Each structure stands twice: as structure tokens, then as C-alpha cells.
Amino acid sequence: MAGFGNPTLAVYSTVRELVENSLDACDDSGRLPVVTVDITTKDSDAVSVTVSDNGTGVPYEHVAEAFGRVLFGNKYSARQRRGTFGLGATMAALYGQVTTDCPLEVHTQTEESTGKAYRLFIDIEHNVPVVETVADLGREGPGTSVTVHLKGDFKRAQDRVLEYLRMTSVASPHARLLLRVNAVPQAEFGPWTDTPPRPTTASKPHPRGADVELLKRMISGNSEKRLKDFLTGSFQQIGDRTASRLLKYMCLDPRKSVGSFTREEVSLLSAALRSFDGFDRPEADCLSPLGKEVFLTSVGATFEVSFSTYSRRGPSDWDGNPFIIEGVLAIGTGLPPSEVPTLYRFANRVPLLYDSSEDVFMKSLKKIDWTRYGLTASQPVSVFIHLCSTRVPYRAAGKQSIAPIPEIEAEALPLFREMGRAFSKSAEKIARSAHDIKKLREFAKSFRMVAGFGAALAESEPPSTDHLVASLFEVNDNV
């Protein structure tokens, strides 16, 4: 369920989870990432995956818990992150431990001290790390290197790993990604830009996302607060006026202590917050889309593109979770031809390579009549879609397709149509330009013929017509 369903998926998921952790660590520190993936194959099914980065390193007091305890992490705040709960690296370690009985190896160094090397197992029954050894390392610069030994089929996974790294460079064009197999360099992608992504800030929860469990956790830390003060201090988009309207709508005493709420009252408060129609949309400071210039640059650097256009929708929200959808429609010889544009999907800068048939964006893409915009089956056209949100509604724990959320589909359809209209205008312009160039060439040929016939009648050398042809092309360009 977590993406380790077979030996091929296990190798791919291990690479993916470790690379995402490295990219998040570098982005959090404001560094341009340099991430190296080393894969070693010892025999037919024994694989070692090592991912190294140039981040700030993991604080030594947190290394064991961060890699050896399920659901230990710092990714619970309401802001855009590649990972969700810090679960992926631990699942890779568990899979490696179960299939090979080998420990997870972590080498890390912070800014302030020398490095340390850890070898650890996970006590699955009690969900606690078991540190086998800790050794001091020299001072080589901050960063983290994680090695997982597992049973896997790298031969079948290799193409998918390469595609994952290539598409990661589209969504993280500020990163340099390197792949080595058995110590031999295989591929290098990026960086396509030296501009790091805009930093995100954690936001307060939006009231439309206040389920019962969230309210219980929030109340436990604010049990002495009065209800009105709790609402205005704990949620975004609730000021004094909105809180007063909400409490009047709920017929609740604003001076009541939230610590005295019964389970039924907490449930009623949650239902009221989620159904009340007086809240503004969530703040978008917690999101960091790629942006027009960066997205177009990364697509153009990765594929051979002759035309591309960018569109964006949002910020909007689903159940109080803000999201932005941005897309690029591109045409070029490096893209596959198809009756429907080929779809490349990204969520919070992570490429989604599996389970596309049930994805909300694929279903929306197929609802568009692309022939209306001049697309034909022989044209190599692709659409690159990036969804950024504080919470991506994945269909399953493998995080490979996005569920059909009505609010997301309502933004996806006009986004596709907008890109289709931009393509249609470009196609008409290209067709007119080709027609005009053909006419100019016919004029040029006629000039030479007239000049030749006139010179023959005058029994002289034919004059040059190049300046006439050049002036025609100049007039056409100006028009």
C-alpha cells in the first residue's frame, strides 16, 4: 500500500522517498540541491540504494527517531511539502530490513560539528529504533547520506528511476540530480535555473478543515481559553466579526471555556465550522507554485519544444485545504504524438508516474474535445500539470494518483480549455506565417523572372533583386 508492492516498485519507491527527503531538506535550508543517487547491484535481487544531499544535516539527537520510528516527522504543519508525514524513508528502511535483515545506514553532518555514521534497525513490535552502532566521521561538509539494502529488481526499475529523476528536474529545476549505477555515472539532470523556490510559511488551519480530531488536539492545548478567543486565535479567516456571526449561527456562549466542551459539543462545533458559509478562501502563503518563467524553462530544457504556453488557476480550496493548479502545454519533436495530449502529472513538485488512468487530471483531460483547438493525432503535444496544496488528496498510500475532488476538477477543466485556446491561436498564427512565407517565395521567384526577361530584351546583365526580396520579408515581419 505504501508503494512497495513488488520488487520493481520497491526499488523505485526507495529512490523516490529518499530523493524527496533530500530535496525538502535543501529547500528548507534555502540551498540549491545537489542530490546523488548511487545504486549498487550485488546479485540478481540484492540492491543497495544510497541517496546523498548537501542539506544542513539531521540533528544528531533526532537521527534515530527520524529514520527508525513510523510517523515520526516534522511535516504536520499546514504548508506545501513533498512528503506528508515523514513516513517514506522509514517504510523503505522497514522493507529493506524485512527482505535482507540489513540495517539502515545514515551518515549526516550538521553545520556546527563533525559527521556521524549510524547503523540502525526498527523494532517493529514496539515502533522504536534500535541503534546498532554510532561512529564519528571527519568533517566533509553538511549534508546527509542514507543507504537502504533491499531485495529488488533494478533491471526492470531502471527506466522508471531514470524517468522519475528526469521529471523531478522539471518540477525542481533548481536541483542538480545525478545517478550512478555500480559507481558508473549514468545520467545527470539540471539545474535549469539558479532561482530557488519561494519559501512557504506554515499557516493556521482553515475552519472548513476543522474535523473532530483536529479540534480535540487544538482544544487540548488551549483548554482555558474562551470559545470566541479560541476561534479567533486558532484559525485563519476568523476575526471578531466573523466569530460573532458564527457563534450567533451556532447559538453558543462566546465566554464558555473550550476545555469544558463535551464530545457531542466538539462534534457540533466541527460540523458548524465545516458548513458555515461566511469564511474567505484560505491563505496562499503556504504554497509555492513553480511560476510561469520557471515552468516554461524547465519543460523547454528537458524536452525539445517548439511552442509552449502556461496557465494557472487558483488559489482555491477543497475542505479548507488551499491549492493552486498550473500547467504547460508544449509542442515539439521530443514529445510523443497522440490523439489526446500526453499528460505529465506533478503534486507538490513530485512527479506521479503510476496509476494515471484514475487520476482526476486524466479524466478532466479526456473530457476536452481537443480537435476544437486544432490538435490532430499526428501532433506531438503534451500537457504538464502541477498541483500544489497543503494536503494532496491521493487515492492511495502509494501517492501516485489524485482523487476526483470536485473542487479540483472544477479548476482543471477551464485550465485545459485556456491552454487549448492559446494553442489554437498559435496554430493559426503559424499557419498564416507559413502561408505568407510561401507567397513571398513566389514573389521572389517572379522578381527574378521579370528582371531576367527585361535584361534579355535590353541585351544587358540582369540586375539583382535581392533588395526587393529583403524588403518584402521586412514588411512581412513588421506586419
Quick: pLDDT tens for 27-37: 888 889 999 99
Judge whether residue 72 has pLDDT over 70. no
CATH architecture of 292-418: 2-Layer Sandwich (3.30)
Between CA 479 and CA 474 the distance in angstroms is 9
User: What is the per-residue pLDDT across 394-421, written as a single tens digit (0 to 9) for each?
Assistant: 987 778 899 999 999 999 999 999 999 9
Helix ranges (DSSP H) in 347-396: 360-366
Fold identical between 7-189 and 207-275? no
Assigned C-alpha cell, 52: 546523498
Assess contact for 100 and 38: CB atoms under 8 A.
Answer: no
Q: Among residues of the chain, what percentage have pLDDT more than 90?
A: 40
Judge whether residue 479 has pLDDT over 60. no
Split at pLDDT 50, 70, 90, the class of 437 is: low
140 or 150: which leads in pLDDT: 150
Judge whether residue 341 has pLDDT over 80. yes
Assess contact for 132 and 101: CB atoms under 8 A.
Answer: no
Q: Identify the DSSP state of 359.
A: -
Split at pLDDT 50, 70, 90, the class of 362 is: very high
- Residue 326 corresponds to which amino acid? E
Query: Angle of helix 227-234 relative to helix 240-250, nearest 10 degrees?
Result: 130
Judge whether residue 350 has pLDDT over 80. yes
Cβ-based burial of 460 (10 A; exposed 0-12, middle 13-18, buried ≥19): exposed
Judge whether residue 76 has pLDDT over 50. no
Split at pLDDT 50, 70, 90, the class of 192 is: very high
- Only one residue has cell 463535551, namely 262
Q: How large is the average pLDDT for residues 206-211?
A: 87
Query: Angle of helix 263-275 relative to helix 212-220, nearest 10 degrees?
Result: 120
**Cα 26 to chain centroid, rounded:** 15
Q: Identify the DSSP state of 399.
A: -
- Any idea where the domains of the chain sit in the sequence? 7-189, 207-275, 292-418, 427-478
The confidence score (pLDDT) of residue 306 equals 86
The confidence score (pLDDT) of residue 211 equals 87
The confidence score (pLDDT) of residue 185 equals 95
CATH number at 207-275: 1.10.8.50
Q: How large is the average pLDDT for residues 424-450?
A: 68
The confidence score (pLDDT) of residue 209 equals 85
The confidence score (pLDDT) of residue 113 equals 82
Model confidence, pTM = 0.82
User: What is the per-residue pLDDT across 296-308, written as a single tens digit (0 to 9) for each?
Assistant: 999 999 998 888 9
Q: Is the domain covering 7-189 a CATH 3.30.565.10 domain? A: yes
Beta-strand runs (E) in 80-195 = 104-109, 116-123, 128-136, 143-151, 176-181, 184-189
Q: Among residues of the chain, what percentage have pLDDT more than 70?
A: 91
Least confident of 26-30, 156-160, 359-363: 26-30
Assess contact for 86 and 71: CB atoms under 8 A.
Answer: yes
Mean pLDDT of the chain: 86
The confidence score (pLDDT) of residue 372 equals 87
Split at pLDDT 50, 70, 90, the class of 126 is: confident
